[in-house]
Amino acid sequence: MQAGLIDGRAQAGALRARVTEEVAALVRDRGIQPGLAVVLVGDDAASQIYVRSKGEQTIAAGMHSATHILPGDATLKVLLDLVQTLNADPAIHGILVQLPLPAHLNPNVVIAAVDPDKDVDGLTVINAGRLASGLPTLTPCTPLGCLILLRETLGDLAGYNAVVIGRSVLVGRPVAQLLLAANCTVTIAHSRTRELPAVCRQADILVAAIGRPEMVRGDWIKPGATVIDVGINRAPFRDPVKAAQGRTRVVGDVAFKEASRVASWITPVPGGVGPMTVACLLQNTLTAARRIHGIVE
Ligand code: GUN
């Protein structure tokens, strides 16, 4: 068997096109242009790339984009003051503070300062609680992207056994909540789970959100399963010449070739879940703008 590829780039392109059309209609009919503010503290190279891409895609969707870059030694007060200014800015409907923050800034304190109505990351306690309670919310972007890919691939998810590896606030927990809301039978596995390969072999849907390169092996996969790989890791090249040059390649949390021989469907890395994250961020910003202006979806 050779698994089919779940094309995140194509799905993300379709979602961005839909959001772009709906933004144009909101501007035309109501004079409302959704606005997204992204805050980056410090000069982490990967974060800089993500933040630039978010700004470019926001503008391409016809939205207002504001990028705020603070120095790596910015104080908590300066960051909280900026968040408060954005909370009060009527041109801004979505606020995203790029994580990770430098070690001296407590992310929980910063996230708690974001107005839940503008929390397009879905990370505030209010929005996480709404998700866990099955209420309308702003859903974290990467988990939302995973669910869209699964629905497009499998249709109705009711009754599937889903195993999520990872319990992070950013991905593992909200993915599990979304799968539960979609009527899957959900197991959350993590670093202390016993017999992890055997647990994974029960999964019709396996979501890997661990952050360890190629940890999930082919013999962890139930034949015919659908595998969603959230990992974006840098690993040395297998080719010793390239490895000796210190070059790295991007790999997921799943050993792709092995898993592809067993699964029915699998997301590649790159080109799977990654592109969906920003598309869902745009979708959330549109949703936030509509709700702030009292427009019923
Ligand atoms: N860093 C990596 N992924 C994310 C994300 O989804 N949101 C934020 N705020 N930071 C991130």
How do residues 109-151 score in pLDDT, each as one tens digit? 999 999 999 999 999 999 999 999 999 999 999 999 999 999 9
Average pLDDT score over residue span 148-166: 98
Under the banding of pLDDT at 50, 70 and 90, the label for residue 233 is very high
How many angstroms does the Cα of residue 294 sit away from the middle of ligand 1?
27
What does the pLDDT read at residue 296? Answer: 83
Question: What does the pLDDT average to over 170-191?
Answer: 98
b or e along 45-68 (b: 16 or more beta carbons within 10 Å of the residue's beta carbon)? eebeebbeebbebbeebbbbbbeb
Q: Is 241 a residue whose pLDDT tops 80?
A: yes
Domains of the chain: 31-120 (3.40.50.10860), 141-276 (3.40.50.720)
Do 208 and 230 meet the contact criterion of CB atoms below 8 Å apart? Answer: yes
54 is catalytic: yes
Q: Let me know if 98 is a catalytic residue.
A: yes
Tally the C-alpha atoms within 13 A of residue 189's C-alpha that lie toward its C-beta.
Answer: 23
Ligand 1: nearest atom to the Cα of 99: 10
CB proximity list for 140: less than 8 A, separation 6 or greater: 121, 122, 123, 170, 171, 174
Q: Which of 115, 119, 121, 253 is catalytic?
A: 121
Ligand 1 within 6 A of 98 CB? yes
pLDDT at 50: 95
Q: 39 in ligand 1 pocket by Cβ < 6 Å?
A: no
Q: How does residue 179 score in pLDDT terms, banded at 50, 70 and 90?
A: very high
* Beta carbons of 285 and 20 less than 8 angstroms apart: no
Q: What is the Å distance from ligand 1's center to 74 Cα? A: 19
Closest ligand 1 atom to Cα of 281: 6
Assess whether pLDDT exceeds 80 at residue 297.
no
The verdict on the CB of residue 142 being under 6 Å from ligand 1 is yes
Q: How confident is the model at residue 246 (pLDDT cuts 50, 70, 90)?
A: confident
Task: Please tell me the distance between residue 47's alpha carbon and the centre of ligand 1 in angstroms.
Answer: 9
C-alpha 159 – ligand 1 centre gap (Å): 30
| pTM, rounded to two decimals | 0.96
pLDDT at 238 over 90: no
pLDDT at 76: 98
Span 67-82, mean pLDDT? 98
Question: Is the distance from the beta carbon of residue 121 to the nearest atom of ligand 1 less than 6 Å?
Answer: yes
**How many percent of the chain have pLDDT more than 90?**
94
Write down the pLDDT at residue 243.
Answer: 87
Tens of pLDDT, residues 36-64 = 999 999 999 999 999 999 999 999 999 99
How far is CA 219 from each of CA 3, 68, 204, 259, 288, rounded to the nearest angstrom? 14, 45, 14, 8, 42
What is the total residue count of the chain? 297
* For residues 77-88, average pLDDT: 98
Mean pLDDT score of the chain? 97
